[in-house]
Structure formats: structure tokens, C-alpha cells
Structure 1
Amino acid sequence: MAASQDHEWRDWLRTLPKAELHLHIEGTLEPEMMFELAERNGVALPYADVQAVRDAYRFTDLQSFLDLYYAGAGVLVTEQDFHDLAMAYLRRAHADGVVHAEIMFDPQTHTQRGIALDTVFAGLARALREARDTLGISGYLLLSFLRHLSEDEAFATLEAALPLRETYADLWIGIGLDSSERGNPPEKFARVYARCAELGFRLVAHAGEEGPADYVRGALDTLKVARIDHGVRSSEDPDLLRDLIRRRVPLTVCPLSNLKLGVVRDLRDHNLARLLRAGAVVTLNSDDPAYFGGYMLDNYVASAEALDLSRDELVTLAANSLKASFLPSTEQARLMDRLSTAAGQG
């Protein structure tokens, strides 16, 4: 794609109202902020400078990324740190045309370092409310369990968080499941997800990134999730894929993340276009953009170029994101009207 054409795509795509549904707030920690917060909090980093951190972003698989991800999160200590992290992301997302963000956060990453759960909630919530008032971008929080830890530890995290639910009722609406997929099937968390369903939370889970298509089936049938995070390996099971299409289960696909972690070797080989054209409810997202080389708009532009997506397909991806969000139907309809207007001006 020529530079002028890339600029044209980017400018047009920026105008499309989009929802980001697969975003780990800890994964938006840019190296510059990592060093700033490390200095603020007196945390020693195993890197000489910002470039040394960027040089470490050569991942061979999901686990090699997670090792750095958890190390980086160690600089997040105070409520202000979590606020600053979230506000930096929300400003960037707003500039990319994101109108709504459903943000995953990993409390166990922080509580096991001695950080109070309310510190995490308070900082993230203050940023989301500030962004709602000043930028016009709405947001929700999805508390995510770490799947490499036990279900008992997930239960303990849930019970510790529940006293905060009323305080953050406008924001904390859902539960997620992330971290190392291999060897940690969805069924491992069946009881805690059943409890979360009883409590009225909206449910999502990572499945079918490094884990097999069977994990997607387990997330659907055992955990009863409303959305599948990633789900790209669903195409390996034709019956599963037909079921996902029939049930209109959204897949929150993260193409640049998949490229960076070796799920695909070349973005031109990614199956998101095939999934979309088969009728799957595909959405585009950035996952951990500070580590994977691209925020929301970068994922749209790179996918458009690599997969020869049409304008209609790109509008469909944006529409899918709005309709797959947990926003009330009236707000979805308002944003869909905005999208129709923006697309018509393209």
C-alpha cells in the first residue's frame, strides 16, 4: 500500500465509530510510562533504558510475552498509576475513533504483589469516568481471572471484589479469563463461572488462540460465555464454526497480536477475512497494544492492507464491534446511526 493510500485508509477508518472489546489495560503500558512509574515508585527494572525494553518485545509464543507482561505490571503501585495507565489508553483509543471500550484487568497480577484490590478499581474507574465526561468515550470493566492459577484462587478474587460491586456498578459489568491457555481448559473454571452467572455478570473467555478449537467449545458450553476472545482456531472444527455463526457468537480477534505471538507467520495468512466472509461475527481489537505494535486503528489498517478487505467489510467489522458490546440496545442503536452516517461519507 502506497503511503498516500495508507493515509487515506487511516483517515477514513478513524471516522468510523468502533468499540474495542478485547483490551488488557496492563498491556497498554508503554516503555516510557514503565520507566516513569518505576522511577515514581522506586521500582528497579531489569532494563537499561526504553530501547532495551522494546528490544525484549521479540516473543516466541504467548508465555514469553506473559513473562515480560507480568514483570512490567510490577511498576503499577498506586491508584494514580492505574488512573494514568488507563487515561493514556483512553486518549489513544479516542484518537483512533473508539467510542466504547470494554477493558479487561487482572487483579491477581496486582494483589499477589500486595496491591489492594480497591486501589486497582479506584484508579481504573476514575479514568473511565473522566474519559466519559471529557472525551465522550464510554467504558466497562471486565475482571479477568488468571487461568494458570487455580479455580479456588479465582473464587477468592471474586469474593474479595464483590464488596466493591456497588461502588463501581456503572463500570464493572463482566468477567473474563486470560493468561496461559495451554493446559488450562475452560472446564477448570466451571464452578466460578456458574457463580458469576448467578450474580448477573456478563461472561467472556479467551479460547482458541494457542489452545485448540475444543477450548472454544468448552467456553461456550461449559462457561456459557457471550463472547469468545480470540477464537481464531474455531475454523479447525467446521461443526463448531457453523455453530458460532448460527448462534451469532462474537469473536474478538486481535490480528497484530496473533502475528506478534506467532499464531500466524504472515498477516496475509490470517483467517479473519475468511471467518468474516463465512458469516462469523468478527470484531477487530488490539489486545496488548504496547507489546504487539499496534492500537485499534493500526489493526484495522494492517488488516485492510494484508487481507484486501473492502470498505463494506471494514464497516461490517465496526458494526460488529458495536453490536457485540455489552452496551444497552438503545446506545448501540445510537452508535449504529453514527456509523451509518460516517460510512456514507466515506
Structure 2
Amino acid sequence: MKEFIQSLPKVELHLHLEGTLEPELMFALAKRNDVDIPFNSIDQVRDAYSFHNLQSFLDIYYQGANVLINEQDFFDLTWAYLRRCQGDNVLHTEVFFDPQTHTARGISFETVVNGIHRALVQGATELGISSKLIMCFLRHLDEESAFKTLQQAQPHRDKIVAVGLDSSEIGHPPAKFERVFKNAITLGFLTVAHAGEEGAASNISEALNLLQITRIDHGVRCSEDETLVKQLVSERIPLTVCPLSNIKLKVFDTMAQHNIVELLRKGLCVTINSDDPAYFGGYMVDNFSAVANAHPMSKMEIAQFTFNAIAASFISKSEKERLRIVTQSYLDLHP
């Protein structure tokens, strides 16, 4: 099964670029940009990546982002992730970035988005990996900051396919950003939102009803509301689940307790993703393997995560069909 998972075509829909900042790159960028970081070695950085909840993770996450200053830094960050995708046979990825994390430090929106975009374009031509870029609003900041960020994004509409909502879920319900998302939809952006990770299932319903989102990021706590589960099944609303992240942040104590396979077998459009892999201990193959090792599954069930991700992606119908054929061909050769 290990070899099957390694070579299985994959599509990733829930990945924070800032969360791919490996300790080695953090040190290299800190040195290049003459940025002081409170660590004396790469091992110290790895030790700091041990945290006990979402907030303690976010604290080190934002601290690490301080080394990202120039357009080349954002290119290098994105390119390093794309090389990981190549190794894990990820054929398409839809990545998040948090502009407010950087503009608050005096880094221009253009610097961030241009560095990322340049790497994504190069990834398509040199690595054969297609991609889409999703801009997230930080939900612990206010509505005014989100509106300002949406305005900054408008000149880059050709680079950004959707807007999302991430950061601390507790105390920051979807309703806080209802007007922002309504405006974003008017401007032509697609919409996603983190909900039902550390927050209750009601956040999922609220995100669907108030923000008019097309895809739920995380969403594992939907199982608390059977009516909601039935809605997700009937409307084929995708969940971008991040298994290793959920264990690291104590959403579930063990992978054996994780509900992703149960949700898959109930007919939900669940997908496997790596979230913030530098911090949570693994990229796509690691996440697929962790789920398969904890839950006896058939190859068809494992491949269904890819088929679901293809269906849930923001690419064209023709490109979805191409990826479906590639995945089915692989499955046919490895029954």
C-alpha cells in the first residue's frame, strides 16, 4: 500500500504557503535578509514546532513569517513546496496565502503575490503542476482590515481565484465577515472558509448560509449535526480535511479516532490535505499514509480522496476530466 499511495496522483486543496516554511529555509532566509530569530539552530526551530493548540501554533507560525521580506523569498517558499508536490505526485494544488500577515509588517501586497505567482507559473511549465491561488482573510482581525485586503487584491484578480477565511476560529464566527464575502462574490471571486475544526458544527452551517461558500476547509465537526451531514452529502459540498493537522492540534487524539473514513463512507466529498506541513509533520503522502495505516481501506477508497479533490477543485471541466482519466488509469493498473 505504501508504494500505491506514493505513486497515486493527488490533488491538494488546503495548503497554507506560510505553513510550508521548513526550519532550513527559515534559517537561510533569516541570514539572507539579516533578520534576528530567537533560535540558534535548526533543531531549536524544530523543538519550537511542538505546540498544544491552534493558538500556540499560530504564535510560532506568525513569528516564522518574519523572515519573508522580498519577492524572491515568497518565490523560494512556494518553489520549495512545489518540489515537495513533485515528490508526492501532486498534479494540481490550490494554495492559500495570508497577505495581512505580511502587509502588517510593511511588506507590500504586490511583493507577496508576485513572488508566489511567479513560482506557480514556473511550477506549471517546469514541473507540470497546475495551481490556483486563494487569498485568506485573518479572522482574528477586523472587518475593516479584510475590506482593505480585498481592495488590494483587485489589481491582481488574474492571479487569485478565490478568497478564504482562516486563523483562530473560536470567537470569530463567519458572520463577522458576511459583508466582506458578499463584496468578494460581487467582484467575481470564488469562496471558501475554515469552519468546524476547533469551532462547532454551527460554524459550518453559518459559513454556508452567510458567506455563500462553495467549499468547507476542515469541517470534521460536521458529524455533531446529522442534518448538516445529510446536507453536505446531498449538495456534494466538499470538505478539505487535514488529518495530521487535526491530530497535532488535538481535534482528535489519535488517527484511529479520526472521522475522515467514516465521512467518506457516508458519501461526503472529503479530501486529504496537508494544511501546514512544515509544522504538522507531513505533506500529502504522509497524510494519505497516516489515514490508511489507521483505517483499513481498499485502494479504491484511497483513490476516492483524489477523485473527490478533482471534483472539488476550481479548474475547468476539461482539466478535471484529464485528471480523472490519469487517476483512473493508475487505479486500473494497480487494482
TM-score bucket of the superposed structures, by smaller chain = over 0.9
Q: Is 1:123 aligned to residue 136 of structure 2?
A: no
Q: Is 1:62 aligned to residue 82 of structure 2?
A: no
The alpha carbon displacement at 1:338 in A equals 0.5
Match in the other structure for 2:15: 23
Deviations 1:177-207 (A, max 9, x none): 0000000000100000001111111100000
Match in the other structure for 1:34: 26
Question: 1: distance between equivalents of 2:218 and 2:309?
Answer: 14
Q: Percent identity?
A: 53
* One-letter identity of the residue aligned with 1:222: L
Question: 2: distance between equivalents of 1:306 and 1:52?
Answer: 30
Match in the other structure for 1:202: 190
Deviations 1:265-288 (A, max 9, x none): 111000001100111100000000
Question: 2: distance between equivalents of 1:190 and 1:338?
Answer: 39
* One-letter identity of the residue aligned with 2:179: R
Q: Is 1:186 aligned to residue 180 of structure 2?
A: no
* One-letter identity of the residue aligned with 1:311: K
Matches within 5 A, 1:1-346: 9-165=1-157, 169=158, 171-346=159-334
The alpha carbon displacement at 1:18 in A equals 1.4
* One-letter identity of the residue aligned with 2:82: L
* One-letter identity of the residue aligned with 1:330: S
Deviations 1:315-343 (A, max 9, x none): 11111011110000110001100001001
Question: 2: distance between equivalents of 1:282 and 1:156?
Answer: 33
The alpha carbon displacement at 1:163 in A equals 1.9
RMSD of aligned alpha carbons? 0.7
The alpha carbon displacement at 1:309 in A equals 2.0
* One-letter identity of the residue aligned with 1:208: G
Question: 2: distance between equivalents of 1:338 and 1:16?
Answer: 10
The alpha carbon displacement at 1:57 in A equals 1.7
The alpha carbon displacement at 1:15 in A equals 2.3
Question: 2: distance between equivalents of 1:297 and 1:164?
Answer: 32
Question: 1: distance between equivalents of 2:300 and 2:51?
Answer: 34
Secondary structure at 1:248's aligned position in 2?
coil
Secondary structure at 1:176's aligned position in 2?
strand
Secondary structure at 2:274's aligned position in 1?
coil
Secondary structure at 2:140's aligned position in 1?
coil
Moved more, 287-296 or 94-103: 94-103
- TM (norm. structure 2) is 0.99
Deviations 1:122-168 (A, max 9, x none): 10001000000001000111000000000111001111221232xxx
What is the number of equivalent residue pairs in this alignment? 334
Secondary structure at 2:185's aligned position in 1?
helix
The alpha carbon displacement at 1:58 in A equals 1.6
Match in the other structure for 1:5: none
The alpha carbon displacement at 1:14 in A equals 2.6
Question: 2: distance between equivalents of 1:72 and 1:10?
Answer: 32
- TM (norm. structure 1) is 0.95
The alpha carbon displacement at 1:16 in A equals 2.0
Deviations 1:18-63 (A, max 9, x none): 1100000000000000000000001101111111111112211100
Question: 2: distance between equivalents of 1:300 and 1:183?
Answer: 31
Question: 2: distance between equivalents of 1:41 and 1:242?
Answer: 51
Moved more, 207-216 or 308-317: 308-317
* One-letter identity of the residue aligned with 2:8: L
The alpha carbon displacement at 1:86 in A equals 0.2
Q: Gaps (5+ residues) in structure 2?
A: none
Secondary structure at 1:172's aligned position in 2?
coil
